Structure 1
Amino acid sequence: MNAFSAKIAMALFHEHTGKALPDEGIVQAAWYANHGLSDEHAKAMLKILPGQGELKQGQFSVWNQFAYRYNSDNKTITAGLVGLHRNLHIFFFASSTPEAHGLPVRGVLDPVTGFVAHPGSIPAMLKPAFPAT
């Protein structure tokens, strides 16, 4: 889930900045399954995310399967809350200049599912935790 969440964050960073997240950039994210994201936390996140986006092709839209709220300076940082089928939510910050934005922020995201990743760290995240015997 961490690798998937990081890839979503990087894709939306690209969508709103027009460039790939560089190796020195970071993603700080957390994912929430089913009802893991409380209404209180969701409302706090949505307060800082005025933009709305969805997955669509031409007139065809699947907002009930993939929709998100975001905020971005369109240059160096994008933050977002993604909803997938309304059962999986991903909250993230993605920045090409994390130190300029005070990232990563400690103690903000879910302590169990929260993580920090760099673009080059995704392959290592995909390795099995328990090698096959």
Structure 2
Amino acid sequence: MLLNFLVGLATGVLSGFGIGGGSLLILWLTGVAGVPQFRAGGLNLLYFICCAPTALLSHIKNKLVEWRAVLWCTAAGVPTSVLAAVLASWVDTDWLRRGFGVLLLYIGLRELFCKKPKTGDAPS
């Protein structure tokens, strides 16, 4: 129980830094704690609702939010999310689980091995 609390605390801190603590939490819940994928996703959403406002307020305070990007991402993200949810309801959950695993591996490998742009350089 204490270990689960510490993992939740650590992934919350990582989420606040924008590192992807939610993805780590899902991996912990499904791979170690034995929580079913659907329940782990729901817990991750509840977890995000608790962590996100604090991180957002901190980013706004430090003038790190690009409001124009927020508008574009919201305008593109809302309809895309609805479409993806509809499409996901037609796909076998085993394929979704495998696809999510591949996505996490890709992101992890990219973070480990891709060169970061220097400050002021345009991202590639």
For normalisation by structure 2, the TM-score amounts to: 0.24
- Name the structure where strand makes up a greater proportion of residues: 1
Higher RCO (CA 8 Å, separation ≥ 6 residues): 1
- Name the structure where helix makes up a greater proportion of residues: 2
Larger Rg: 1 or 2?
2
